Amino acid sequence: MVLPLNPHPTFTKPDGPVVIVVADGVGHAPHGPSNAVTEAATPTIDALLAGPLATTIAAHGTAVGLPSDDDMGNSEVGHNAIGAGRVFAQGAKLVNGAIATGSMWESPTWKQLVHHGRAGTLHLLGLHSDGNVHSHTDHLYAMLHQAAIEGVERCRLHILLDGRDVAARSAQLYIEATEKVLAAINADHGVDYRIASGGGRMTITMDRYGADWPMVERGWRCHTLGDARGFATAAHAVDAMYEESDKGDQYLDAFVVVDDDGAAVGRMHDGDGVLLWNFRGDRAIEITQAYEAGDEVVGFDRGDDRPDVFFAGLLEYDGDLKVPNNYLVDPPQIDATMGEYLADAGLRCFAVSETQKFGHVTYFWNGNKSGYLDEALETYIEIPSDNVPFDEAPAMKAAEITDAVIELIETGDYDWGRINYANGDMVGHTGDLAATIESMEALDASLARLVEAVEAAGGIVIFTADHGNADIMFTEKDGARVPKTSHTTNAVPFAIHGAVGDLTLASIDAPGLANVAATAINLLGFEAPADYQPSLVTSPASG
């Protein structure tokens, strides 16, 4: 499909590249001791945000396709919005609609799950919180009720403890709420529904981009084979691990619930149905592959006695890889991304990030499409992330990303590019204020080198973020600091710097991340597509 762009009558392409820098998790919030962004020494960011082409833009809620403005943004929807130039209804909103209309229960995949559940056991696996970034317990509860109504007598929940998109040690609140739902369903329908296994989301199951397959293996063995430390209930498991360390929920070890004989109550068997109730794709793909690969090799040995189950996902997690084979709700159909338009215009680009965010500057940026749009025009570079706790290495790979980008810029071969610095998000999620401050300072030092290289090439830097996180690192309760590990609903910074001439900020009501694409397209000398959110800049000649 050819996606033509018309030359802009007043904007002209700079000599050097237009480089979009996404400082992941760096939101905009008032100065204060909880704000790692402003507590850090960040002279480069400060200078960018003090420039004439600086403002803030929305990166959460309806601005990125989420159900309401109470919903935190996240890296997936943020990069979708930047790359698409428009706002598409995203995972949670799509699922809410499918449940409200009942279309989910009419899908062939749901009917298959119910069939397998009636014949054996229905297993529901997913992130156990209402964070609404990867999942929501409301979706889980709707599925539990519907399964009971449709005659599924035995159901097992495999819960991934959050502590990342919600409070660091909030697992017991969610377990208590779910146990009440299960008790009511069991009493009303005479069924056997129980929590069967679990563990922290950063310890088991929810790896992404192939960074830590042993993590997926631990989860798969726990949920599938019942291979983990046993407890009488999930609440007992969490209590015990809280007593043993000060770790947040996301880092707790795998556990299984066992019966009086010590046998796991939720081991999977041939013919069972398994549904992953996460709606976000990046941390769902590897565990999906582990269940769907058959005899094919995945990142670990699953053995010859693995059960033959029917597996499905809540959404399709990768439209190019066709993962999973079966899913309940169609994902957003994102078309005509800025990358497609600019590739069809013959512009050369690069995308660079470390492993933790590589899919965001490629897959999500390109509208949930894997691989290159045009390999002859694009260069994608993944800097391998270190497999260590991020608060122990807060600089992450900012320096290496910057080295790679500067080398690309100095070739003179590229018209535009996009990069992601993961520091503010990945270190911010640890809840470690000191480490997050250090991570921001490392990011700023790398950004200084990058800005210098873009300036030397006669290019333009667009600096922004995909959502907030590092901007609020703790809240206070009864005079004590409570670490905040989740994203925020704060706006994010936006600034343009470099060969910008006499450009000024455009007057736009409620600008958001989706406005970035048209801005970049204008700076590259083209009129933006008519259906894109408008550009954030204007020139005197264009009005």
Neighbouring C-beta atoms of residue 149, cutoff 10 Å = 13
Residue with tokens 């996180």: 469
Backbone φ and ψ of 506, nearest 5°: -80, 155
Here the tokens at position 467 are 């959502």
> CB under 8 Å to 30, separation ≥6 — which residues?
38
Angle 407-421-493 from CA coordinates, rounded to 5°: 115
Give the closest residue to 218 by CA, choosing from 203, 208, 230, 229.
203
Q: Say which of 75, 353, 439, 539 is annotated catalytic.
A: 75
Instruction: Please name the amino acid found at residue 431.
Output: G
> CB under 8 Å to 359, separation ≥6 — which residues?
208, 209, 282
DSSP SS3 for 530: coil
Rounded Cα gap, residues 144 and 463, in angstroms = 44
Rounded Cα gap, residues 170 and 162, in angstroms = 8
If you count them, how many residues does the chain have?
A: 543
486 counts as catalytic:
no
Query: What are the angstrom distances between the C-alpha of 96 and each of 143, 341, 456, 480?
Result: 12, 32, 49, 37
Q: Are 240 and 225 in contact (CB under 8 A)?
A: no
Catalytically active residues are 75
